[in-house]
Amino acid sequence: MAEKATIYKANITLSDTDRHYYAELSLTLALHPSETIERMMVRLLAYCFCATDNLSFTRGLSSVDEPDLWHKSDDGRILEWIEVGQPAPERLKKASGQAESVKVFSYGRGMDIWWAQQGAAIRALPKVSIQYFAAEDLQALQSLAAKTMQLSVTIAEQIAYVSDERTNISISPRPMP
């Protein structure tokens, strides 16, 4: 019998001063059995950095035809295709054909090897922007993971200040070289 996803709930007070976007978010994240807490928290952070009306999590790892998040217009067009991890250039090329813009939030071991091998092909895709999170920053972010999270996220000058009742961290996506 296949393992089921583990459900996490996140209530977030978001203040994105860079984009002047402020919201009370109530998010449900399904942690796929093959997904790590680190990846789930990067998805959550990607949501905060891209938050807007009509932004939603997709079936993610359960569907090869969908990104981790997407922002759709009211008429169904994909405005932003948002990936987490180290996607193949072919996947990003396909996404570029379906969406107005493609964002990648990269992280994890082997990221330097992935970028050395795939960076030139990805840089050739004009709609694609890539940012990454440093491993040491993600360790602190993982400490905030809980089945029910009450978080405050303030984004200023591309730095996310994330806190719960006991921990405060700062984390910033960095542009790929």
Instruction: List the chain domain ranges.
Output: 6-175
Q: How would residue 106 be classed by pLDDT, with cut points 50, 70 and 90? A: very high
State the average pLDDT over residues 1-19. 91
Q: What is the mean pLDDT of the chain?
A: 93
Band (2; pLDDT cuts 50, 70, 90): low
HEC per residue, the chain: CCCCCEEEEEEEEEEECCCCEEEEEEEEEEECCCCCHHHHHHHHHHHHHHCCCCEEECCHHHCCCCCCEEEECCCCCEEEEEEECCCCHHHHHHHHHHEEEEEEEECCCCHHHHHHHHHHHHHCCCCEEEEECCHHHHHHHHCCCCCEEEEEEEEECCEEEEECCCCEEEECCEECC
Residue 60 has pLDDT above 70, yes or no: no
Q: How many C-alpha atoms does 49 have within 13 Å on its Cβ side? A: 26
Q: What is the mean pLDDT of residues 15-22?
A: 98
Residues 156-160, mean pLDDT to the nearest whole number: 97
- pLDDT score, position 177: 79
Average pLDDT over residues 119-144: 94
Query: Which pLDDT band holds residue 108 (cuts at 50, 70, 90)?
Result: confident
> pTM for this one?
0.93
Cβ(42)–Cβ(138) below 8 Å: yes
Query: Taking Cα atoms as reference points, which of 43, 35, 10 lies closest to residue 138?
Result: 43
Fold of 6-175: Restriction endonuclease-like alpha-beta roll fold (3.10.640)
